[in-house]
């Protein structure tokens, strides 16, 4: 109860708080403007020295992905065909065994 009374009696100067926030933001912006980002500096040097490899970009990635998909599909079809041939061979053996037993 005593604490709530103290809070209600406090006179807050909103304008002073807003001015302090604006000042802090200006200082932060000035600090960011003068701060040297090591990564940006290294990246700029890297690009300036032309150390980047030409990889072909997204088109090359898409082409490689498509080739890989085709290879995977071929392998899948190959294994399905082999399984089908094995199934047919088993059926032929069963039919031959059944005919042998019938005679």
Torsion of CA 75, 76, 78, 83, to 10 degrees: 140
At 99, is the pLDDT very low, low, confident or very high (cuts 50, 70, 90)?
A: confident
* 66-95 residues labelled b (16+ CB within 10 A) or e (exposed): eeeeeeeeeeeeeeeeeeeeeeeeeeeeee
Interacting residues of 61 by C-beta distance below 8 A, sequence separation 6+:
none
The CB density around residue 96, as the number of other CB atoms within 10 Å, is 10
Q: Which of 47, 68, 44, 64 minimizes the C-alpha distance to 55? A: 64
Rounded CA gap, 38 and 36, in Å? 6
Q: Which residue has the higher pLDDT, 76 or 40?
A: 76
Q: What is the pLDDT of residues 43-74, one digit of tens each?
A: 888 888 877 666 677 888 899 999 999 999 99
């Amino acid at each position: 109860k005593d604490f709530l009374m103290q809070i209600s009696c406090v006179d807050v100067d909103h304008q002073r708080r807003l001015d302090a926030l604006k000042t802090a933001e200006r200082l932060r912006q000035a600090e960011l403007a003068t701060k040297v980002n090591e990564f940006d500096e290294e990246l700029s040097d890297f690009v300036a020295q032309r150390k980047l490899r030409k990889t072909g970009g997204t088109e090359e990635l898409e082409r490689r992905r498509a080739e890989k998909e085709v290879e995977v599909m071929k392998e899948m079809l190959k294994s399905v065909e082999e399984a089908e041939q094995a199934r047919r061979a088993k059926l032929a053996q069963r039919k031959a065994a059944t005919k042998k037993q019938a005679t």
